[in-house]
Amino acid sequence: MIRFINLLLVAAVIGLSVGLYDIKYRAEGADRQASRLAAQIAAEQEAIRVLRAEWSYLNQPERLQELAARYTALKPLTARQIGEFEDVPMPHMADDYYVPSGRQPLGGYAEAAPESGRSIQ
């Protein structure tokens, strides 16, 4: 009986040793993978910083203005190129638009103003 228990305990120790060995190497593999991923993340972050710096340089207004002047014949737009003020159609408004229900505008106060244009005091 004691021999059977000893054999059982030896088998358990061997089984646990194999399990511990497997877990140890899986953990080391996961650690190596985490280190590789951290290095990749750092490289990608550095690449993003470089690309943002290049983007900032390439989109400087002074640089873009110089390139536009050098390679295109563009000139600033003037209001006369769009059209004249007289060409803009006025919107159609009904006669009673500002006079609801036929009442006089401003309640008749506009007719009380003097002809000279000066205010009443």
Give the start-to-end residue ranges of the domains of the chain: 9-71
The SS3 call for residue 75 is coil
Note the pLDDT of residue 116.
56
**Alpha-carbon distance 61 to 67, whole Å?**
10
For the four alpha carbons of 7, 10, 16 and 17, in that order, the dihedral sign comes to negative
Alpha helices in the chain (DSSP H): 2-58, 61-71, 79-82
Instruction: Using pLDDT thresholds of 50, 70 and 90, give the confidence band for residue 118.
Output: low
Per-residue pLDDT of 51-110, as tens digits, reads 999 999 999 999 999 998 899 988 888 877 888 888 888 877 655 555 555 555 565 555
Highest mean pLDDT: which range of 5-19, 32-46, 89-103, 106-120 = 32-46
